Chain A
Amino acid sequence: MRPLIVFAACLAVAPFALAQQSLFQSSDGQSSVYLRQSSATFNLGDSKASIGYVNRVNIKKTFWGFEGYATANSGVTSLFSSDKPKAPEGGGDFTVGRHFVLVPMPVAGVKAKAREDWWLIDVGYGHSSFYLYPKGSTPEANTPKTNFDRFRAIAAYNYFTSGNLIAGIAAGAERRNNLSDLTSVSLATVIVPAPTGSQTSIEKTQAGYYGNYKEYIAAPIYTDILFYPGKASVPAFGNRLGIDFFSRSDVAAANRSSSGGLGIFMFKKEDPLTPIGGISASFNGTKVQLALTVGFAFAKSN
């Protein structure tokens, strides 16, 4: 029920907001493919809803955009794996980039080999706050919330060719925490103790995270290869399908990790560049994680 409410809220704000940078998200909500569609999305795997806007004029190589996002806590994701705890977070990204970097802009009226490329810089900030109960210390009811400020700067390059392939690579730096490695717990404080002869008491609970908390600088590297197999489409509906082969790595020494996976995405009818949803599976060597992404693409009304 809760994801539906969040998604409904996402749709409700759609007419006022504008676009999202990329729907090709794995379960961690990341991608290296930045498409140009206006959309709002909800990633069930990452419990992330986002809306944004991209400003793009065909004869101007430079473009820019922004995105606002909010993540729910881990309760939303129980259906699609991700039993990792996550604190609610809100934030935004600003993107600036250029099209036709290494390949020339086509000449009007001249049929040539289809190629297009674009690079961009994606700078983002997110804020979250949560209760932390470190290992080895006595938990207290009046523990103040811990605040975390996430900063990130990612550079990405995308290349479209042959009418059926979009490849992307993104690399940068991001300030992260290890909250997803901690244990989600509830601190219970007895308000009214159980009377003699009764086992019923009144308790106040406070959700938080237990473990050795740390913050670190990650160096993420993401790659995606989005392939459109022939004219493959959803039977009876006709929506085109795309297959996304992806990898997600962190090459910083502090928390080195790597995972790879496969996603199948469905596109708007007659517009195979506007994804409306997808499912992806990633494997990090020990565990398979599934994610369902749904999107709502819309155009700004002038």
Chain B
Amino acid sequence: MSKLTFKCAITGGLTPVMTLQGQPVALRQNGNTWSGSLAMGAGSTLNIAVTVTGINGSPWTVDITIDCPGGSPAKIFSRNGTIPKGGSDAFTASAKVPAQPCLNNAEATVKAQDTPS
């Protein structure tokens, strides 16, 4: 099982908590965005668990990507929502991890380059 580095970003809320395959992700606060990365062997399925807290009615987003050399990051998982009354929202989800997550990006880059101007 090869190791992949998952880049995670959560916007909104106070202190969010997140695990990938049960491992906590260290997220550094950068304005309204908390971001961090975790290197791990994920297999074909990535198990995600997130809890966000914040002000009622404020939006939150969760994004997980993998950096691709020379291309835009490959999107693995994305979800957004609104913090409900009570101030907390949480979910667990699974995302499929392609065997070669950057392959689609590389193809897209080639296609874009091939497109006549």
Contacts and interface: CB of A to CB of B under 8 A. Distances in A.
A12 interface: no
B17 A114 contact: no
Contact of A38 (B25, B31, B54, B84): B31
A107 B92 CA distance: 11
B17 A107 contact: yes
A270 B31 contact: no
A8 interface: no
Given A163-B56, A231-B56, A54 B14 contact: no
Contact of A108 (B30, B31, B49, B55): B49
A256 to B, nearest CB: 36
Interface string B12-39: 1111111100001111111111101000
Interface of B: 12-19, 24-34, 36, 49-51, 53-59, 83-92
Contacts of B89: 111
A161 to B, nearest CB: 7
Interface of A: 36-38, 54, 56-60, 99-100, 105-116, 160-164, 228, 231, 240, 268, 270-274, 297-300, 302
A59 B17 contact: yes
Nearest to B20: A108
B33 A299 contact: yes
26 contacts: A36-B14, A37-B31, A54-B29, A56-B28, A57-B27, A58-B16, A58-B18, A59-B26, A108-B24, A109-B19, A109-B92, A111-B51, A111-B89, A114-B53, A163-B54, A163-B85, A163-B86, A228-B55, A228-B56, A231-B57, A270-B58, A271-B32, A271-B58, A273-B54, A273-B58, A298-B31
Contacts of B50: 108-109
Main secondary structure of the interface of A (DSSP, over half): loop
A161 B34 CA distance: 21
A85 to B, nearest CB: 37
B99 to A, nearest CB: 26
Given A59-B17, A300-B30, A164 B56 contact: yes
B88 A274 contact: no
Given A109-B19, A113-B86, A164-B87, A56 B51 contact: no
A110 B51 contact: yes
B18 A160 contact: no
A300 B86 CA distance: 30
Contacts of A54: 29
Nearest first, the 6 A-B pairs at minimum CB distance are A163-B87, A299-B31, A109-B49, A114-B87, A114-B88, A163-B56
B30 A163 contact: no
A187 to B, nearest CB: 48
Nearest to B34: A58
Contacts of B51: 106-112
Contacts of A114: 53-54, 86-88
A100 B87 CA distance: 16
A272 B57 CA distance: 9
Contacts of A99: 15
Nearest to B49: A109
Given A105-B17, A111-B88, A271-B58, A160 B53 contact: yes
Given A107-B17, A116-B53, A228-B55, A162 B86 contact: yes
Contact of B26 (A36, A60, A105, A231): A60
A58 B26 contact: yes
A99 B90 CA distance: 20
A58 B55 contact: no
B67 to A, nearest CB: 13
Nearest to A271: B32
A273 B54 CA distance: 8
Given A58-B17, A106-B51, A299 B30 contact: yes
Given A108-B19, A114-B53, 10 more contacts: A57-B26, A57-B29, A58-B26, A58-B34, A106-B51, A108-B24, A110-B90, A112-B90, A160-B87, A163-B55
